[in-house]
Amino acid sequence: MSRLLSAGFMRLWKSRVFWTLVAGMFLWSLFMVYGNHMECIAKGETDDTLTNFFFGYGVIIGGAVSIFASLFFGTDYSDGTIRNKIIIGHSRKSIYMSNLIISVAAGAVMTAAWILAMLAVGLPVCGWNGFDAVQVLVYLAVSFFMITAFAAVFTAFGMLLSNRSVAVIVSFLVFLFWLQCGAYLYSRLREPEVEPIYTMVMTKDGEEKITDASYIENPMYVRGTQREIYTRVLEFMPTGQALFLMQNEVTDVSFMIFGSFVITVVVTLGGIVCFGRKDLL
C-alpha cells in the first residue's frame, strides 16, 4: 500500500481541487476574524477574542471533505486509474484504505489552513482568552476524529459512485441533511426552561414601560430521558460534534471520540465490502 500512498499524495499536492479548498478554508477563516472584529467595534463590545470562533471550522470541514472526496476519487473512474491499479496487482482493500488515508490527510490540511489564518491574523487582532493548552489539545483531538469520520463517510461515496457529478451532489446533500439534523437537535437543547412574560404599563408621560416579568414553563424545553437521548445523538454525530466545537461546549470528550471511531470503522468496513463487489469494468 506504500506505493499507492506515495502516488496518491503526489497527486494530492498537484490537485487544483485540494488547493482551492485549502485556500477557501484559509480565506473563510480570515473573513470570520474580520467580520467578528468589525461587529465588536460597531457594537462597542470588548469580548473580541479568538476563542469565540476558533473552532468554527467544524461546520465547514465536512462539506469541504465531501466535495474533495467526490471529485478527487471520481477522477480515478473517469481516467480509468482504478482499473489500472487493480490490473498491476493492487488489492481493492489497499486501494480503498489508501484513499481513506489521503482523504483524512486532506481534511487535516484544510483544517490546518483555517487554524493558521486564525493564529497568524486573528491572534494579533482579537487576542486569546479562556482556553489553556490542555483544552486546545483536547478539542483538536475531538476535531481529528470528527474529520476522520467525515472522511470515512465521503470516501465511501466517492469510491462507490462512479460518476463524479452524482457523487458531489449526493455527498454534499447528505452533509447538509446531516448538519440540519444536528442543528435541529442542538436548537432544541438550547431552548430555555422558562419563558418571561412582560407587562407593559403607560407612564404619565405617555411612554410605555416594562414592569417586572413573570415566567412560564417553555413547552419546547426538552426534559428527562429525551434530553439525554438528544445530547448523546449529537455527541455521536460528527455534525453534532462540530456544533459543540463551534460553541466551545465540548463536555464528554471520550464519548465524542468513541462516536467518530464507531462511524469510521462501520462505514469503512461496509465501504470495503461494497467496493470489493463493485463492477469496475
Q: How confident is the model at residue 205 (pLDDT cuts 50, 70, 90)?
A: low
- Structural domain boundaries of the chain? 2-191+221-277
**Overall residue count recorded for the chain in this entry:** 281
User: What is the tens place of the pLDDT at every residue in 11-67?
Assistant: 999 999 999 999 999 999 888 877 776 766 666 555 556 777 788 898 899 999 999
**Largest interatomic CA distance in the chain:** 91
Better-predicted residue by pLDDT, 281 or 28 = 28
Count of C-beta atoms within a 10 Å radius of residue 259: 24
Q: The dihedral of CA 164, 167, 172, 175: what is its sign?
A: negative
Looking at residues 264-270, what average pLDDT do you find? Answer: 96
Give the mean pLDDT of the chain: 86
pLDDT of 87-110, one tens digit each?
888 888 999 999 999 999 999 999
pLDDT of 199 above 80: no
As to burial, measured by CB atoms within 10 angstroms (0-12 exposed, 13-18 middle, 19+ buried), residue 58 is buried
